Amino acid sequence: MDRSMNTDVRPMDKTLTILIAIAAFLGCVVILAAGYPQAVAKGESVFFADWRKHVIFLLGAVWVYFWVARFSMDFLKVIAKPAFYLTFIGLILVFIPPFGVKINEAWRWISVFGFTIQPSEFMKAAVILYLASVLSAPVLRSLPRPRDWVQTVDRRIIPFLQKSWPYVVVFIALVLIEREPDLGTSLMVGAAAFGVLLFSRIPTKVLLTCLGVGVLIALIIIMSGFERYRFERFIKHGDRWNPAVAKDIGFQPTHSELAMATGGATGVGVGKGRSKYIMPAATTDFIYTTAVEELGFFGSVSILVVLGAISLRLIMQAATIEDPFRRMIVGAVGWWIGVQSVLNMLMAGAALPTVGIPLPFFSYGGSSLFALAVTMGIAQAAIRGRVAQEAKRAVSRHRRGHRRTRLSRA
């Protein structure tokens, strides 16, 4: 018998699964609408190759979602650290040929049996599992005051290093992702890690300190000029409508902003959008642009409602879970979905500079789709674990009550 699975029948959150299914279906529709013009221009059919691949990936992701959702909490705790360090090794391998594959001047993928995998996407789920397992572990009691340097090392320095190591290695992972370069994914992994802290019930001062340090580091990286194009995107974003900027670094945000403004309340009509013909990232980072342009305000709100409902559903579930490990997983996943969705929409509307953040369930990408399936499956497993825990408590109360009844009759 596979101990990694929940052997008894435990209900999944059907509402969450329905919301995920709606988002995945809408994603297929929007990717088809956004991608077919450029595909036809290349001589492909309306149902172009990337869209067919997306549908195949989606079918595989559905199976992964239901498979992972059956994992037991004990199994997730066991694999939390190995999964994180395996993904961490993947972040290193992307820089080492022939494992690493360079595409568009970026080292983000590794080649496995002919398939390209983006480890940084899976780091979102791995960092949630890892930090949740670390923060839910029993806290070591304070040791007596050391009397000499040997006891100082044993009772103070080593425990401090053990306690700090998880945060150090997560920070290194963020730096590796940023150096691929992929600032957007690095920010989202950081957001997922912060989500774990948010639902760990640590003091507010610590949370604000972590948030402040994270924002400061991100600003330093951006303004330091390590990547010139990234630096220019930020400093010239306010001047993006300048003809010289709009033709160069501000091309996508200006055209995206114009397209979304053109959509109005009801949109220009399905298939009649203009932006998808000229924007390079029409099916990935700027997929939301096509949806707003063709479906208008009401279509954009529909997408916002679906993604918001998924995020809020998870956060509401987390609020009812007492077990720290489960609560941090479910809450962090809900937080991450919400943050990434909002940032992508703000980026598409040119309220933020372009940083390469995909829209969950909607943007094209095999690695992101499978990573999303794994993450949502883990959240479902945590929810099912809560149901099982409550069932055990109910049985225990029933047994105690039954014994009291029998004793009263003696």
* pLDDT value for 407: 42
CA distance 87 to 96: 15
Looking at residue 147, what is its pLDDT?
66
Single-letter amino acid code for the residue at 361: F
Choice between 221 and 287, residue whose per-residue pLDDT is larger: 287
Half-sphere exposure of 229 (CA within 13 A, CB side): 11
Q: What angle do the packed helices 183-198 and 204-223 form, to 10 degrees?
A: 170
Summarize the confidence of residues 1-27 as an average pLDDT: 78
| Helix/strand/coil percentages in the chain, nearest 5 | 70, 5, 25
- Locus of tokens 């956004």: 34
Q: What is the rounded distance in angstroms from the CA atom of residue 329 to the CA atom of residue 321?
A: 10
Closest CA to 193 of 272, 123, 288: 123
What pTM, to 2 d.p., does this model score? 0.88
Main-chain dihedrals φ then ψ at residue 248, nearest 5 degrees: -120, -105
In-domain check, residue 7: no
Residue 286 lies in a domain: yes
pLDDT band at 376 (very low <50, low <70, confident <90, very high): very high
Q: Which token pair is 112?
A: 């496995």
Q: What is each CA distance from 33 to 43, 110, 276, 283, 293, in whole angstroms?
A: 17, 30, 9, 9, 11
How many domains does the structure of the chain reveal? 1
Query: Could you give the strand order of the β-sheet that contains 106-112, starting from the edge strand earlier in sequence?
Result: 100-103, 106-112, 115-117
Q: Does 293 score more than 70 pLDDT?
A: yes
User: What is the 3 state secondary structure string of 318-334?
Assistant: HHCCCCHHHHHHHHHHH
Is the residue at 22 inside a domain?
yes
What burial class does residue 143 get, using C-beta atoms within 10 Å of its C-beta: 0-12 exposed, 13-18 middle, 19+ buried?
A: exposed
Q: How many Cβ atoms from other residues are within 10 Å of residue 93's Cβ?
A: 18
> Which structural domain, as residue segments, surrounds residue 284?
15-390
Which of 259, 210, 214, 250 lies closest to 232 in space, CA to CA?
250
pLDDT of residue 408: 39
Report the pLDDT value the prediction gives residue 164, as an integer from 0 to 100. 84
